[in-house]
Amino acid sequence: MRNRRAIPLIVYLILLVVVFSWAGDLFNDSMNQLPYSTVVDLIRSQQVKKLEVQDGVLTMELYIAIDGENTIRSALANPESFQEQMGQLLQEQHEAGILEYYHFYPEEEFSPYELILPLVLAGLVLLFVWAMFMSRANSNNPLQNFGKARTVLGVPDGKKVTFADVAGADEEKEELQEVVDFLRNPEKFTQIGARIPHGMLLVGPPGTGKTLLARAVAGEADVQFLSISGSDFVEMYVGVGASRVRDLFEQAKKIAPAIIFIDEIDAVGRKRGSGLGGGHDEKEQTLNQLLVEMDGFARTEGVIVLAATNRPDILDPALLRPGRFDRQIHVGRPDVKGREEILKVHAKDKRLDATVNLKTVARATTGFTGADLSNLLNEAAIMAARDSRPVLTMEDLNEALMKITAGPAKKSRVQIRKDLRETAIHEAGHAVAMYHLPTHDPVRHITIIPRGQSLGSTWSLPRDDSFNMTRNQMYEQIVSLLGGRVAEALFLGDISVGASNDIDRATKLAKDMVARYGMCEKLGTVSYLDGGEVFIGRDYQTTKSYSEKYAGTIDDEVKALIDKAYEHCVKILSENREKLHAIVDYLLEKESMTGEQFEAIMEGREAGETSATAMFDGFEEEKTEE
- Measured between alpha carbons, how far is 427 from 421 in angstroms, rounded to an integer? 10
What residues between 478 and 517 interact with Zn ion by CB under 5 A?
Answer: 484, 502
Peptide bond into 257 cis (omega under 30): yes
For ligand ADP, which stretch binds (CB under 6 A), given 121-129, 132-140, 202-210, 296-304? 202-210
- Measured between alpha carbons, how far is 424 from 585 in angstroms, rounded to an integer? 8
First to last CA, the chain: 62
- Residue 405 contacts Mg ion per CB under 5 A: no
- Measured between alpha carbons, how far is 202 from 168 in angstroms, rounded to an integer? 16
For ligand ADP, which stretch binds (CB under 6 A), given 5-13, 200-208, 456-464, 535-543? 200-208
445 binds, among Mg ion, ligand ADP, Zn ion, none (CB under 5 to 8 A by kind): none
- Is 427 among the catalytic positions? yes
Judged by CB under 6 A, the residue of 180, 291, 308, 362 near ligand ADP is: 308
Judged by CB under 6 A, the residue of 345, 381, 394, 400 near ligand ADP is: 345
Nearer to Zn ion, 346 or 426 (CB): 426
Judged by CB under 6 A, the residue of 315, 342, 455, 519 near ligand ADP is: 342
What residues between 434 and 453 interact with ligand ADP by CB under 6 A?
Answer: none
Nearer to ligand ADP, 370 or 456 (CB): 370
- Measured between alpha carbons, how far is 9 from 389 in angstroms, rounded to an integer? 43
| Residue 372: φ, ψ to 5° | -60, -45
Q: How far is the CB of 261 from ligand ADP (least distance, A)?
A: 10
Contacts of 409 (CB under 8 A, 6+ apart): 399, 402, 403, 449, 450, 451
Contacts of 305 (CB under 8 A, 6+ apart): 198, 199, 200, 259, 260, 261, 262, 294, 325
Q: Which of 235, 284, 341, 427 is catalytic?
A: 427
Q: How far is the CB of 457 from Zn ion (least distance, A)?
A: 8
Torsion of CA 603, 609, 611, 616, to 10 degrees: -40
Contacts of 334 (CB under 8 A, 6+ apart): 167, 168, 169, 208, 341, 342, 368, 369, 370, 373
- Residue 361 contacts ligand ADP per CB under 6 A: no
Shortest-Cβ-distance residue relative to Zn ion: 484
CB under 8 A, 24+ apart: contacts of 1-9: 8/128, 8/132
241 binds, among Zn ion, ligand ADP, Mg ion, none (CB under 5 to 8 A by kind): none
Torsion of CA 70, 76, 80, 83, to 10 degrees: -20
Nearer to Zn ion, 168 or 498 (CB): 498
DSSP string covering 36-88: HHHHHHHHHTT-EEEEEEETTEEEEEEEEEETTEEEEEEE-S-HHHHHHHHHH
483 binds, among Zn ion, Mg ion, ligand ADP, none (CB under 5 to 8 A by kind): none
Q: How far is the CB of 202 from ligand ADP (least distance, A)?
A: 7
Judged by CB under 5 A, the residue of 151, 211, 369, 374 near Mg ion is: 211
Chain centroid offset of residue 46 CA: 84
For the chain, give me the number of helices (H) and strands (E)? 22, 15
- Residue 450 contacts Zn ion per CB under 5 A: no
Nearer to Zn ion, 505 or 564 (CB): 505
Q: How far is the CB of 324 from ligand ADP (least distance, A)?
A: 21
Q: How far is CA 127 from CA 135, 142, 286, 546, in A?
A: 12, 19, 38, 65
- Measured between alpha carbons, how far is 258 from 219 in angstroms, rounded to an integer? 11
Please tell me whether residue 593 adopts helix, strand or coil conformation: strand
502 binds, among Zn ion, Mg ion, ligand ADP, none (CB under 5 to 8 A by kind): Zn ion
Task: Report the DSSP beta bridge partners of residue 308.
Answer: 202
Nearer to ligand ADP, 165 or 512 (CB): 165
Binding mask of the shown chain, residues 52 to 91, with x at each position contacting Mg ion by CB under 5 A: ----------------------------------------
208 binds, among ligand ADP, Mg ion, Zn ion, none (CB under 5 to 8 A by kind): ligand ADP
Judged by CB under 6 A, the residue of 74, 93, 208, 365 near ligand ADP is: 208
For Zn ion, which stretch binds (CB under 5 A), given 154-162, 180-188, 212-220, 476-484? 476-484
The one-letter amino acid code at 581 reads H
# residues near ligand ADP by CB under 6 A:
18
Q: Rg of the Cα trace of the chain?
A: 41
Nearer to Mg ion, 132 or 314 (CB): 314
- Residue 168 contacts ligand ADP per CB under 6 A: yes
**Residue ranges in contact with Mg ion by CB under 5 A:** 211
**Residue ranges in contact with ligand ADP by CB under 6 A:** 166-169, 204, 206-212, 308, 342, 345, 370-371, 374
**Residue ranges in contact with Zn ion by CB under 5 A:** 484, 502
Which residue numbers are catalytic?
Answer: 427
